[in-house]
Amino acid sequence: MLLRARDVSKTYSIADQTLQVLRGVDLDLAASETLALTGESGSGKSTLLHLVGGLDVPDAGSIEIEGTDIAGRSDAERAHLRRTDIGVVFQQFNLIPSLTVADNIAFQARLAGSADKEWIAYLGQTLGLEDQLSKYPEQLSGGQQQRVAIGRTLAVRPKLVLADEPTGNLDEASAQTVMDLFLKLVGETRAGLLLVTHSKSLASRLDRNVHLSVGVVS
Amino acid sequence: MIRTTLAALMSYWRRNLLQLITLLAGIALATALWSGVQAVNAEARASYDAAAATLGEGRFDHLRAADGGSIDQETFVALRRAGWLVSPIVEGRINGVRVIGLDALTAPIGIAPVSLTEQADLGAFLSGGGQIFGRPDALAALEGTVEAELIADPNIAPQTLTTDLVFAQELLGREGEIDRLLIATVQPKQQATLAEIAPNLTRISAQSGSDIGRLTDSFHLNLTAFGFLSFAVGFFIVHSAIGLAFEQRRPMIRTIRALGVPLNILLALMMVELILFALIAGVAGVILGYFIASALLPDVAATLQGLYGANVSGTLAFRASWWATGLLIALGGTTIASVSAFLKLAKMPLLAGGQIRAHVMVAGRRAAVLAILAAACAVLAVILAATADGLVSGFALLASVLIGAALALPLILDQMLRASQSLSSGAKAQWFWADTRQQLPGLSLALMALLLAMAANVGVSTMVSSFRLTFVDFLDQRLASELYLTVEEDRAKEITGYLEPRVDAILPIVSAEAQIKGVETEVFGARVHSTQRDNWTFLDAMADPWDQVAGGAGILLNEQLARRTDTWPGAIVALGGQSFEVVGVYGDYGNPIGQAIVSEEVFAELYPEEIANNFGLRISVDQVDDLLSDLETQFGISSENVINQAEIKAFSLQVFERTFTVTAALNVLTLAVAGFAILMSLLTLAAMRVPQLAPVWAVGITRRSLGQLELLRALILAFFTILIAVPLGIVLAWVLLAVVNVAAFGWKLPLFLFPADYLQLAILSLLAAALAAFWPALKLTRLRPAELLKVFANER
Amino acid sequence: MNVRLLLFLLIWPTSIWAQGFAGLGTDAEGFSVPERGYVFDFPADHGAHPDYRIEWWYLTANMQDAEGRDYGLQWTLFRSALIPDEIDGQIFMGHAAVTTPDDHYVTERLARGSLGHAGVTAEPFEAWIDEWQMVGDMEVLSLKAGSDEFSYELELRNEGPLIFHGDAGYSVKSAEGQASHYYSLPYLALSGTLALPEGEVEVTGEAWLDREWSSQPLSDTQTGWDWFSLSFESGDKMMGFALRQTDGSVYTYATWIALEGETQAYPDGALSATPLETSQTSGAEVPTKWRVELPDRGVDVEVQAINPNAWMTTSVPYWEGPVTISGSHKGRGYLEMTGYE
């Protein structure tokens, strides 16, 4: 099993209030499987995604990636995992503004020390960014920027791709194009995909759907 | 990973060149001003040390002929054979350079040229042919005129050459003559008394002579204070540049972390990056500092020569230690300036902090923290002002006043702007004030820099001007006589007898060393005359102090002595077995030791062996020249032995002008730095301003108008800052004059105010602010509407 | 490095203990060289010989106070010429020391001949540097020296003959033939006062004055020397030295001075001196217990330093101090060791 989460709980305290976002979530994802995580705002979708990505740690429960629990790992070990095995595509494009498109796409692969020039060139081509490579993010449209972010994530050939409403900031037309490209490329890399979305139509294009409601799988 | 991350971090600077330049320039300027001032101080101190080492002055007691003439070699031998470890020195001038002959075999350790040991040819030094040591410029004066070997040695005092005693005697045409005998610190147990062997010699102790270092400390302290302030200003620039850069890089940091770079590696890399910048800018700063110091040094040298007779080399030797200290200062300053930014970054959670906070609002908790810190500084300052008793606490007081004021500045400005807002009417005016308040946090560091620069300028110029006024006044008091005459003791009677009918008054100047309340004191016997009654001012005195001195029961003390022993008018002091009532305390600037004045009669009773051979002569100014030529023809008294008061005063004033040149140069430099800080802050803010200005533009205020308002805003903020800076500067001057000076030297200088100077400075500062604001405002005026429109289109 | 020390290495290039600083000025250019068969001329030869490069007036003494406590004393005036025969080129160095079983007081003076605060005249005899002096007619001498710590004022009375070393005062120092003119006054009775930090002490004892001058005293291969002046209870005396050479061998010499003042010179090899114990002094580690043998005279004695730390902390450092003698003969004497630093 690529991902195996058991009884995951997470509580946040904001000001004086405590908010239990996840209350014992179980989740499995097989290699190359694509899974849509749906649910209303505040259902805990994004939090679960962050925990799986090692960006945060659960209060209770275990999250195993290929059989290893990441919850108990150190910051550096989790960082290593993010660098090499897990790719995250955020809702905001989170590009590095002072690097060119080409450098942004290659960035994570270079961090991981696994930059494959041909693969990166192919990604740029497939994502329709050939003419934008020497531009800076601020010179691109939103759809183009998200394509750069997708390219950056897939450049590492991660085993697991996490995406949090990757098209949430885009208009419908470009969202459609970007998502088509994204799913095509994830399929090509044979990576497992955990996609957070509130779009039912998008969710229906994936292998499996899990609905989160008030912190539990329903 | 490391290379990729570093490249990403660096790419930020490539895309934000202006910020990089601000940062580098800030570090470089701070380093330059600091190391420049330090270089000037170090050069001067090195000159004093070399002088002390070359001449033995200030470190060794020495013997001189009481009549001021030369000492013969037989006397030297007689002293040595009576167990006196003395070493002969002969001095003279050749081509304007001071030539000092010494005996390497008897000279106290450290007196002989150091390179003598390195050049390894004592034989050549001692015998015949001669070796002459000196700085290259001094050696040049002898080039071609002597056959001796000339050896460059930077450790010799400026304008001085050292050679063997016998060779110097030959060069100077003074065979067998000695000017001074240095007395070694350690002497044999058995020794004849000086009176038995050489009654015609007087012993001059090291301290009362010319401890140039102590006299000039005051001057160097001022320079150091200036260097410190300049550094503080530079430091503010660096702090703001780093703060801004870190704020703006928050999203990038978050992204890099999310992509799998651990926080500690990221922090380490950012530190490496800053250290790299600090080193690059530090090197530039040291080089720049060298040029600043080179430019200032001739004036500093002239000042020191004039004020204290201290020889300081007018040219700068590039010392290796500068690199070390300069780079250390650059690194240290950068580190301190970046600590808070790093701490913030280290505490930033991975999932938060993605938004650029263009600036931290002075609101709520942060304003409260600032207020508490400022108040703490103020309390500390008050405590220190009451208790400071040394240089360190004096400087701590300076620092707490400055830091407190700087911290309080945003709060005070905010209050001033709020008041202005409530007084204004009209939508545009309301918006303008509100918007200015909103801009304040982003500009506050630059304004703090302006505040410090302005305050430093006001403070230092107030101090220097006060010093000048006091000193000129003091010269009038001390140099009231028109002429000062030095004669040989045995001719004193004859000459004063001759002068009696020809001058208005003869005022003998005679002194002896004594202890008053355990403090080394020079006691003077004064012939009380209207000269003193008319001219002397007292810091504190009883009624008619001079009459009481003349009456024999009164004694006057200088301020140093009064402060050191806490003895003020009304107190009784013992001197030579008699009791005297302190009737007055007078200012005595530049003198490191205690001084007391009793009447001529009392003095003669206490010290019958001291005979006056210095005299002040009162005479109407138009008769001065005639009397001078009469003295020359009648007694062969040359102009060397007569000092004309008018010449001294003219000379002193000229010296002060040189001091002002130095001060003015430093003033301009610090102001320029502050102006630069404002420019850089405005430029970096400009980009972030667009989203704020776009709505205002959209509702119908033209770009031109917006530009004008931006300029006006800068001027108003600068003006408010100046309003605070002037009183702060005066407080600063007070601290320097009344606290630091007292702690360091034992005397307090009165504070004078110079409103015209402050006005001029204020105009200059406004000009600097206007110049700094002009470019960003112009850029705004020329902003393409598309850029403004993007604000609305580019929703994220 | 101490400035003074450096000065000294320069001034005394040919002095015996500077031999470690190889080869400095070993030529005798312009200076007179000692010659076999030189006829001494007194009192003129008690004075200075400025045509020779170096010369000394070297007095050591063994003394006791009223309680029988041992003291040693040294008074030395060295002369070194930078230029032969010229007063400008003459430099003087004075060393004075007092050694007790517990303490060792040392001081030093420097002077150039031309200024006049140091010098030597033969008639009347006076050797002086600053207030230090040795003055008299060679039958009765008064001696004075001091520092900030100690001083002494003594009277010396000559009670025996003047002794020549080597071949009638021609003392060979190496196989290559380096030599000096060397005579001694070993029979000086001494009395006077030592002023030490712990108080004044009245002392009596015996002193030994060495006079030696040369222009080239040691060979390049000699690193230092060990010198003994021994006064036996039998009334006999012995002066002996061993010059240490770079190859580990020694060049020795001894003068036997019989009770009546008759002398016998022993060439290289007759005397042997073997270190038995070393001590760490305030300077170098030096042998402070020796076995000294002169089989021809039945001498097989142990020589033991009274105060092992008699290190002379002067510009050029060396060891000089009083010793006691035990074994075949008993007595007291002085030991000087150079070239160990």
The DSSP code for A207 is S
Q: Which H or E run includes C332? A: strand C331-337
| CA distances in angstroms from C308 to B71, B340, C311, C312, C322, listed in the order given | 46, 64, 8, 12, 9
Of B13, B258, B354, the CB nearest to A55: B258
**Could you tell me how many helices (H) and strands (E) chain C has, helices first?**
1, 23
**To 5 degrees, how large is the angle CA C287–CA C289–CA C294?**
110
**How many helices (H) and strands (E) are present in chain B, helices listed first?**
26, 20
From the list B3, B7, B262, which residue is nearest A75 (CB)? B262
Residue B734: band (very low, low, confident or very high) from pLDDT cuts 50, 70, 90:
confident
- How close B265 comes to chain A (CA, Å)? 9
**Residue A167 within any structural domain of the chain:** yes
Question: Can you give the three-state secondary structure of B110-152, one letter per residue?
Answer: CCCCHHHHHHCCHHHHHCCCCEEEECHHHHHCCCCCCCCEEEE
CA distance B269 to B288: 28
Mean pLDDT of chain C: 86
Q: Out of B81, B123, B165, name the one closest to residue C10 (CB).
A: B123
List Cα–Cα distances, B629 to A155, B62, B494, C58, in angstroms: 101, 34, 17, 63
What residue ranges do the domains of chain B occupy?
A: 1-55+262-357, 60-205, 362-470+648-796, 483-619
Decide: helix, strand or coil at residue C235: coil
Q: Which residues contact B732 (CB under 8 A, 6 or more apart)?
A: B398, B401, B402, B455, B456, B458, B459, B460, B462
pLDDT tens, chain A, 218 aa long: 888 999 898 888 766 678 888 888 898 999 889 999 988 877 888 888 888 888 888 888 899 888 888 877 888 888 888 888 888 888 776 888 888 999 999 998 888 888 888 999 999 998 989 898 999 988 888 888 889 999 999 998 999 999 988 887 778 888 888 888 999 998 898 899 999 988 888 888 899 998 888 777 77
CA separation for the pair B762, B764 (Å, rounded)? 5
The conformation of residue C123, written as its DSSP 8-state character, comes to: T
In a domain, A178, yes or no: yes
User: What residues of B are in contact with residue A135 (Cβ under 8 Å)?
Assistant: none
Interchain contact, C148 vs B188, CB within 8 Å:
yes
A74, C294, C265: which is closest to B263 by C-alpha? A74
Q: How far apart are CA B702 and CA B686, in angstroms?
A: 17
Q: Where are the beta strands (DSSP E) in B559-710?
A: 572-575, 578-586, 594-599, 614-618, 642-644
Query: Do C83 and B127 make contact, defined as CB atoms within 8 angstroms?
Result: yes
User: Is A63 contained in some domain?
Assistant: no
Determine contact, residues B596/B556, Cβ cutoff 8 Å: yes
- Bridge partners (DSSP) of residue B137 are none
| Band of residue B315 on the pLDDT scale cut at 50, 70, 90 | low
CB B249 within 8 A of CB B760: no
pLDDT category at B659 given cuts 50, 70, 90 is low
pLDDT the model gives residue B324: 83
Average pLDDT, chain B: 78
Residues of C with CB under 8 A from a CB of B: 1, 3-4, 6-7, 10-11, 82-83, 88-89, 91, 110-112, 114-117, 128, 130-131, 146-151, 195
What value does the mean pLDDT take over residues B497-525? 84
pLDDT of residue B178: 92
CA distances from B82 to B63, B201, B367, C313 (A): 15, 15, 77, 24
- Whole-angstrom distance, CA of residue A146 vs CA of residue A141: 9
CATH of the domain at A48: 3.40.50.300
In a domain, A186, yes or no: yes
Q: How far apart are CA B313 and CA C37, in angstroms?
A: 63
Cβ contact A96–B11 (<8 Å) = yes
Which residues of chain B have a CB within 8 Å of the CB of A94? 251, 254-255, 258, 354
Q: For residue C16, what pLDDT is reported?
A: 33
- How many alpha carbons lie under 13 Å from residue B619 in its C-beta half-sphere? 24
Q: What is the DSSP string of B161-227?
A: EEEEHHHHHHHHT-TTEESEEEEPSS--S----HHHH-TTEEEE-TTTTT-HHHHHHHHHHHHHHHH
Ranked by mean pLDDT, which of A163-167, B535-539, B723-727 comes out on top?
Answer: B723-727
Residue B383 has pLDDT above 70, yes or no: yes
Return the closest-CA partner of residue C9 out of C93, C104, C114, C105.
C93
Pairwise CA distance, residues B138 & B697, whole Å: 69
**Site of tokens 């009165």:** B750
The arithmetic mean of pLDDT across residues B73-98, rounded, is: 89
- Residues in chain A closer than 8 A to B350 (CB atoms): 55-56
Q: Where are the alpha helices (DSSP H) in chain C?
A: 3-11
pLDDT class for B660, splitting at 50, 70, 90? low
Place of tokens 């940062």: B23
For residue C201, how many other CB atoms are within 10 A of its CB? 20
B793 touches chain A (CB under 8 A): no
Nearest to A83 among B15, B251, B259 (CB): B259
Give me the mean pLDDT over the C248-260 stretch: 91
pLDDT bin (cut points 50, 70, 90) of residue C14 is: very low
DSSP C45-108: GGS--TTSSEEEEEEEEEEE-TT--EEEEEEEEEEEESSTT-GGGEEEEEEEEEE-SS-EEEEE
Mutate which of A51, A88, A99 to disrupt the B interface (most B C-beta within 10 Å)? A99
Mutation target for B interface from A46, A78, A98: give the one with most B CBs within 10 A: A98
Tokens encoding B498: 């001759």
Task: For residue B765, name the pLDDT band (cuts at 50, 70, 90).
Answer: confident
What are A216's strand-pairing partners?
A: A213
Phi, psi of A188 (to 5 degrees): -65, -35
CATH topology of domain C3-21+42-337: AttH-like fold (2.40.370)
Query: How far off is chain C from B74, nearest CA to CA, in Å?
Result: 8
Higher-confidence residue of C248 and C195: namely C195
| Adjacent-strand bridge partners of C331 | C232, C325
| Whether B78 contacts B198, CB under 8 Å | yes
CB C224 within 8 A of CB C19: yes
- Identify the weakest region by mean pLDDT among B101-105, B310-314, B621-625: B310-314
User: Which residue type occupies A211?
Assistant: H
| Chain C: touching chains (3 or more CB pairs < 8 Å) | B
Here the tokens at position B189 are 């147990």
- What end-to-end distance do the CA atoms of chain B give, in Å? 30
- Specify if A126 maps to a domain: yes
Is A110 contained in some domain? Answer: yes
Coil, strand or helix: which one is B379?
helix
From chain C, the residues in CB contact with B122 under 8 A are: 7, 10-11
Please tell me which chains touch A, using 3 or more CB pairs under 8 Å as the contact test.
B
As a dihedral over the C-alpha atoms of residue C308, residue C312, residue C318, residue C319, rounded to 10 degrees, the angle is -20
Determine the residue of chain A that is closest to B254 in CA distance.
A94
Of all helices (H) and strands (E), which one includes residue B368?
helix B364-387
Closest to A62 in 3D by CA, of A113, A15, A124, A3: A3
Could you list the residue range(s) of the whole structural domain that residue A88 is in? 30-56+75-217
**Nearest alpha carbon to residue B454 among B208, B95, B731, B92:** B731
**What residues contact B404, with CB distance under 8 A and at least 6 apart?**
B373, B374, B375, B376, B377, B378, B380, B381
* Candidates C130, C152, C193, C194, partner chain B, best to mutate (most B CBs within 10 A): C130
Question: What is the arithmetic mean of pLDDT over B405-415?
Answer: 88
**C147 to chain B: closest CA residue:** B188
Model confidence at B615, pLDDT cuts 50, 70, 90, reads confident
* Highest mean pLDDT, choosing among B117-131, B487-501, C263-277: C263-277
pTM listed for this prediction? 0.56
N-term to C-term CA, chain A: 21
Q: Does B268 touch chain A (CB under 8 A)?
A: no
Vertex B506: Cα angle to B502 and B509 (nearest 5): 150
Q: What is the pLDDT of residues B583-602, one digit of tens each?
A: 999 887 766 678 899 998 88
* Total count of domains within chain A: 1
Nearest to A97 among B4, B15, B257 (CB): B15
**A58 Cβ contact partners less than 8 Å away, ≥ 6 residues apart:** A8, A9, A10, A22, A51, A71
Query: Do C115 and B76 count as a contact with CB atoms less than 8 A apart?
Result: yes
Chain B positions touching C116 (Cβ under 8 A) are: 73-74, 77
Inform me whether the C-beta atom of residue B695 falls under 8 Å from chain C C-beta atoms.
no
Spell out which residues of chain C touch residue B107, defining contact as CB-CB under 8 Å.
Answer: none
- Whether residue C70 is predicted with pLDDT greater than 90 in this model: the reply is yes
pLDDT band at C157 (very low <50, low <70, confident <90, very high): very high
Residue whose token pair is 């004039």: B306
Confidence of residue B247 (pLDDT cuts 50, 70, 90): confident
In whole angstroms, what is the distance from residue B248 CA to residue B20 CA?
13
Q: Which residue, chain included where needed, has tokens 């405005």? A: B682
- Give the closest of B116, B126, B189 to C82, CB-based: B126
At residue B669, the pLDDT reads 73
Pairwise CB contact (< 8 Å): C3 & B112: yes
Q: Is B16 on the interface with A (CB under 8 A)?
A: yes
The count of residues in chain C is 341
